[in-house]
Structure formats: C-alpha cells, structure tokens
C-alpha cells in the first residue's frame, strides 16, 4: 500500500491527506479537475506545496472521463485509492444541480470501475454528514436510518454510497465509506463559513448568520480528519464470513466487504460559539446579520465516533478555539505573507 491514488488531490481535504501520506514516505498520485467552483489559484497553490515532494505526481482530468481515469489509475497501480473528488456545497446544488449528478454519481461510478479493473486492494470513498438528512436521535450512528436527505448534494452522496455497496457486493471490492462532519482548517475553501466569516470580521463587514444562530455543527479539524482516514486505510473491511461475528453497532455489510464510518469530533458546537472562536482569534467582534435557514440546511449535526475509535483507537480531539486560531493565523499569512 505504499502507492496511494487520491482524487480531488488539489482540494482542501485531498491536499491535507496527500501531505500526510507523503510525510510517511508514500508515493502519491493526485487527480483533480481543477474546476472553477472556487478560485483555481488556491488549488494551484496547494499543488505547488505538494509538488515540493519527489513522491508526488499529478494528473489534471475530470472524473467523468471514464477512459482517461481508468488508464491513469491502471498506470499508477495504487495499493489504496481514496476518492475525495466531488462537486461540493449544499447551497450551490440549488444553482447547478446537474453538476452534482455528473461528478458525484457518474464520477463515482467511473472510480468504482477503475478501481476494480486495476485490482485496487482497498477503495475509500468520502461521503458527508449531510447524508443523514432529516434523521433524528443524535448523535448519529452509522447504523441509523438515513433515507431522507434534504439537499441534492446530500442525495447524490448517498447515491454514491449505495452504488459503492452494490459494486462491492458484485465484484468483491473492499470499500470503506466515511462520512465527515463540517471539516475546517488551514487551506480551507473560500465558500465555507470559516473563510467567509474570518474575511468579513477582519474587514469590518457584517456576517450572515443563518438559522438566526440557533444551529449546531460537529466541527472537525482537517488534520484530525485525514489522520482518521490514514488509520482506516489499514483496516479494510472483509466479507462478514471471513471477519467473524459483526460487533454490535458495526456498519459492516452482511453481504459485501463494505463499511461506513463516521469521522467527526464527537461533539456539537453552537453557531454562536463557533463565531465567538473566530472573534477571539481575530481580536474583534463580528457584526451579525441574522438570517433564516437556507434551503437544504439542517439544524444540527453530531457524530457518534464509537466505531472509529473501535477500529483505529483514534478519535479527533481538536477544540474549536484551538482550531480556529490556527485557521485565522493561516488566513492572515495566506493573504499577507510575512515579509510582503
């Protein structure tokens, strides 16, 4: 498994994961479409950091290019494929719904085909806490019913989960699907709240607070997330008949070498506390413009991380004040590097 193929490698999470594997001496091949959903200059900056490692190589291409993707995976011969590439964003799915179908559904199917054809021993696929949708009874467990998604983004990610399970059953491909919860940290996306709030607060501009501040999120630091992915890479699911009895609360499929795992901080933080952490890091108060909830949003997210701890012995632990202080320091340096 010393060769890792990562789709979405120029993205926020892909960048952090590639750096982690490279630091451990792995060969990493990245794949990314470099789409203009947000400024590609940020993606190029991330790639320039990764390119400083001799172990990194990269292909620019779209997930929808079945032949190109398959050839690229086959040529690299990875021991692990981590599929992070996707059209992200709940709110943007209201504006450009077809891009989610092509990237998240068709693109994921192409990844499944490419992985099987190349004989990849373990495929890992990123999903989202949004897949839980209108499910109640938090904290959410992997075995909870998740049939009522409230955004097209979430629906396409749930569809990708279902496709991967069927493919795993039909072809015997070991698949780990991980649902991550509100990831933040250095090198994050400009469309996400940490970036938008930090930029506005530092500029003395108002921030839009949706749900009138009465919302909760399980904020997960990017460094914690990729460490969990790295550890899960070493415990690929086996068919139940080979792995022995399934432990209570495990999400291992009864018919396929397929598993679903939450990756979250295991606590819910109010939007008010999140904003307070940014204010503390910025050293100034926010001007708040209270707004109603947007379509597709959920009131709260909260992960049960028992399965992650049982499989890896690890649980994310970065607190929101520590994490946002790190993000704000990075944000200032990114826009005004020392010495400029």
- Per residue in 86-124, pLDDT (tens digit) is 999 888 888 889 999 999 999 999 999 999 999 999 999
**Number of domains within the chain:** 1
**pLDDT confidence of residue 340:** 46
* Cα distance between residue 185 and residue 183, in whole Å: 7
**pLDDT confidence of residue 316:** 95
Tell me: the pLDDT tens digits for 220-264? 999 999 999 999 999 999 987 776 667 777 889 999 999 999 999
**pLDDT confidence of residue 124:** 98
pLDDT for residue 338 is more than 70: no
Q: Answer whether residue 38 is part of any domain.
A: yes
**pLDDT confidence of residue 46:** 98
Tell me which of 293 and 21 has the higher pLDDT: 21
Reported confidence tier of residue 219, pLDDT bands at 50, 70, 90: very high
Q: Which of these, 19, 13, 6, lies nearest to 51 by C-alpha position?
A: 19
Tell me: the pLDDT tens digits for 274-329? 999 999 999 999 999 998 887 777 888 999 999 999 999 999 999 999 999 999 99
Averaged pLDDT of the chain: 94
**pLDDT confidence of residue 241:** 74
**Residue 110, CA distances (Å) to 69, 204, 224 in order:** 8, 45, 29
Are 90 and 119 in contact by the 8 Å Cβ rule? The answer is no
Across 197-226, average pLDDT: 93
Q: Answer whether residue 280 is part of any domain.
A: no
Active site residues: 153
The pTM assigned to this predicted structure is 0.96
Query: Residue 264 half-sphere exposure, CB side, CA atoms within 13 Å?
Result: 29
* Cα distance between residue 78 and residue 118, in whole Å: 8
**pLDDT confidence of residue 221:** 98
Q: Answer whether residue 335 is part of any domain.
A: no
Are 176 and 229 in contact by the 8 Å Cβ rule? The answer is no
Q: Answer whether residue 336 is part of any domain.
A: no
Reported confidence tier of residue 150, pLDDT bands at 50, 70, 90: very high
Across 134-151, average pLDDT: 92
Q: Which of these, 211, 191, 195, 188, lies nearest to 91 by C-alpha position?
A: 191
Q: Answer whether residue 278 is part of any domain.
A: no
- 54-63, 177-186, 295-304: lowest mean pLDDT where? 295-304
Q: Answer whether residue 207 is part of any domain.
A: no
228 bridge partner residues: none
Q: Answer whether residue 339 is part of any domain.
A: no
Which residue range is the domain that position 91 belongs to?
Answer: 3-181+222-264+302-317
**Residue 300, CA distances (Å) to 211, 235, 257 in order:** 10, 30, 31
Q: Answer whether residue 119 is part of any domain.
A: yes
Across 151-176, average pLDDT: 97
* Cα distance between residue 4 and residue 162, in whole Å: 24
Are 22 and 47 in contact by the 8 Å Cβ rule? The answer is no
Residues whose CB is less than 8 angstroms from the CB of residue 52 and which lie 6 or more positions away in sequence, other chains included: none
pLDDT for residue 15 is more than 70: yes
pLDDT for residue 213 is more than 80: no
Q: Which of these, 232, 233, 181, 198, lies nearest to 2 by C-alpha position?
A: 233
Instruction: Check which CATH number belongs to the domain holding 310 and give it.
Output: 3.40.50.720
Q: Which of these, 135, 130, 162, 165, lies nearest to 147 by C-alpha position?
A: 135
């Amino acid at each position: 498994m010393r060769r890792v193929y990562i789709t979405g490698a120029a993205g926020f999470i892909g960048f952090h994961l590639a750096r982690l594997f490279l630091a451990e001496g792995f060969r990493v091949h990245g794949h990314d479409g470099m789409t203009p959903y947000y400024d590609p200059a940020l993606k190029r900056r991330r790639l320039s950091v990764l390119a400083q490692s001799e172990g990194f190589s990269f292909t620019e291409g779209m997930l929808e290019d079945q032949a190109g993707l398959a050839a690229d995976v086959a040529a690299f011969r990875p021991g692990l494929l981590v599929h992070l590439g996707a059209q992200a964003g709940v709110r943007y799915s209201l504006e450009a719904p077809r891009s989610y179908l092509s990237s998240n559904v068709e693109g994921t199917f192409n990844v499944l085909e490419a992985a099987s054809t190349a004989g990849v021993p373990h495929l890992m696929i990123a999903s989202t806490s949004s897949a839980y949708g209108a499910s109640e009874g938090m904290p959410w467990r992997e075995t909870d019913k998740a049939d009522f998604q409230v955004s097209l983004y979430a629906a396409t990610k749930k569809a990708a989960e279902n496709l991967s399970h069927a493919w795993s059953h039909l072809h015997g491909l070991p698949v780990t699907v991980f649902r991550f919860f509100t990831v933040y940290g250095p090198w994050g996306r400009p469309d996400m709240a940490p970036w938008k709030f930090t930029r506005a607060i530092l500029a003395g501009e108002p921030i839009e607070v949706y749900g009138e501040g009465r919302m909760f999120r399980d904020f997960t630091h990017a460094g914690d997330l990729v460490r969990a992915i790295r550890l899960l890479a070493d415990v690929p699911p086996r068919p139940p008949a080979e792995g022995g009895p399934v432990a209570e609360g495990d999400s291992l499929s009864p018919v396929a070498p397929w598993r679903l795992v939450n990756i979250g901080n295991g606590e819910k933080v109010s939007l008010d506390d999140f904003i307070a952490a940014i204010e503390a890091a910025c050293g100034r108060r926010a001007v708040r413009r209270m707004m109603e909830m947007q379509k597709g949003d959920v009131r709260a997210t909260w992960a049960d991380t028992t399965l992650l701890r049982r499989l890896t012995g690890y649980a994310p632990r970065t607190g929101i004040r520590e994490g946002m202080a790190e993000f704000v320091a990075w944000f200032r340096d990114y826009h005004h590097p020392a010495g400029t």
